[in-house]
Amino acid sequence: MEQKQTIKMSSHDMSLSDQAVGCVMMALTKGMAEQCDITDVLRGLKMRMTEEGLFVLNPPLLKVKFDDMANITPGLVLDEE
């Protein structure tokens, strides 16, 4: 016999803060740059509700070598001073 999983739903609506939207965009960029699945990155995000919306406590980091920046960003001029 198959058991059904019950999920309790809250009537409290939530939205993403601008910071959280930026974190999702960073995760997408990271996935494209590293050619990897971002599912685990998104699942691992820790969030807290604020007045502005959901805030990500551990945003993903995208590491890029300085020399590679000009290659992946068309039109970018790097000033090495």
Q: What is the pLDDT of residues 33-76, one digit of tens each?
A: 888 899 998 999 999 999 999 999 999 887 766 665 556 555 55
- Give residue 57's Cα distance to chain centre: 11
CB 53 within 8 A of CB 12: no
Using a 10 angstrom Cβ sphere, with 0-12 exposed, 13-18 middle and 19 or more buried, the burial of residue 65 is exposed
Give pTM, 2 decimals.
Answer: 0.64
Instruction: Determine the residue type at 80.
Output: E
- Give residue 49's Cα distance to chain centre: 16
Distance between CA atoms of 24 and 37, rounded to whole angstroms?
13
Per-residue pLDDT band at 17 (split at 50, 70, 90): very high
